Structure 1
Amino acid sequence: MAVDVRWATAKDPEALATVFCEMAVHYRQSPLDHGRATAAARRWLDEESPAYSHFALAFAGGEVAGLASVAIAHPGIDLERLMFLKDLFVRESARNRGVGQALVGFLAGQCLAKGIGRIDLTTEDWNEGALRFYDRFGAERHGQKIFLRLSSEALRTAAKS
């Protein structure tokens, strides 16, 4: 299957919304309203700086097949920027067809072309499929960091300090 990957543009809110809705179901969240997801995607693609976040979209057979959501951070090791891969998701109908590999290959190529020194990412320790997938690329497992999150009440507490 031929897979085309490119950065999402302001013309892609419907494609993003389609993947967001399928992601919600996959990750056992409440189903998303497609209209609400489209509005959020439109806002993110129109208003946010490309330096803040990017969505890479994969298309196969004319249909959206997956996405990667990334952010570029400054500075990284030795003053090289780093790319943080927040989400990589392949739609159920496109799994095991090279879509994930095409997305990671696209991101790696972008890093090399733009002097970005590495891609950092997280996945759940129970997600054996994801761990095997990233192992195939030679991803190193680092036990150096602990993943933390400030949300909800913690955000309010931090904002008051």
Structure 2
Amino acid sequence: MALEVRWATVDDAEALATLLCTMAAHYRQAPLDHSRAAATARQWLSDESPAYPHFALAFADGEVAGLASVAIAHPGIDLERLMFLKDLFVRDGARNKGVGRVLVRFLAGECLAKGIGRIDLTTEDWNEGALRFYDRLGAERHGQKVFLRLSGDALNRAAGT
């Protein structure tokens, strides 16, 4: 299987929408309307800074197979930026075929090329497959942080509305 990874562009909006819809179904979320997902993907991809694209897409034999959604952060510690891996997702038919590994390899290479010192990520504690995958990559588990979220009413209160 030929694998290719690249930063997504506006021309990849349909491929990204396909993955977003598949990912929603995989995680048992409400189904996404593909045309709405494609319009949203087009908007996101046209708004992204060319210096730091936020979606890397993997293609297996020309078909979209996986995505990595990332953000670059500028922490104050040791003046090194970090890449936060928000989502790594591989379609069912492409799992266990090296797609996740080439996505992470692509991201790690981008970090090294751009002086980004680390990749931080989270995964659910029940997601044994993801935990095994990251263990095989040598990811260290850090228990020093608690994952928190402001959304809904709490987000409105924080905004003073």
What interval of TM-score do these two structures reach, taking the shorter chain for normalisation? over 0.9
Q: Could you tell me how far apart the structure 2 residues matched to 1:47 and 1:104 are?
A: 24
* CA spacing shift, 1:124–1:6, aligned 2, 3 Å: same
Unaligned segments of structure 2, at least 5 residues:
none
Provide, for residues 108-148 of structure 1, a one-character-per-residue CA deviation record: whole Å limited to 9, x for no partner. Answer: 00001100000000001111110000011110000000000
Question: What percent identity do the matched residue pairs reach?
Answer: 80
Unaligned segments of structure 1, at least 5 residues:
none
Moved over 2 A (4+): 48-53
TM-aligned CA deviation for residue 32 of structure 1? 0.5
Listed as ranges, the matches of 1:44-63 within 5 Å are 44-50=44-50, 54-63=54-63
1:68 and 2:68 equivalent? yes
Name which of structure 1's ranges 59-68 and 41-50 shifts more when overlaid on structure 2: 41-50
Q: Which residue does 1:115 correspond to in 2?
A: 115
Paired residues of 1:76 and 1:117 also in contact (CA < 8 A): no
Structure 2 counterpart of 1:6, one-letter code: R
Q: Could you tell me how far apart the structure 2 residues matched to 1:77 and 1:97 are?
A: 37
Q: Could you tell me how far apart the structure 1 residues matched to 2:76 and 2:9 are?
A: 27
* CA spacing shift, 1:121–1:71, aligned 2, 3 Å: same
TM-score by length of 1: 0.96
1:84 and 2:84 equivalent? yes
Q: Could you tell me how far apart the structure 1 residues matched to 2:89 and 2:14 are?
A: 16
Q: Which residue does 2:105 correspond to in 1?
A: 105
C-alpha RMSD of matched pairs (Å): 1.3
* CA spacing shift, 1:113–1:75, aligned 2, 3 Å: same
Aligned residues: 161
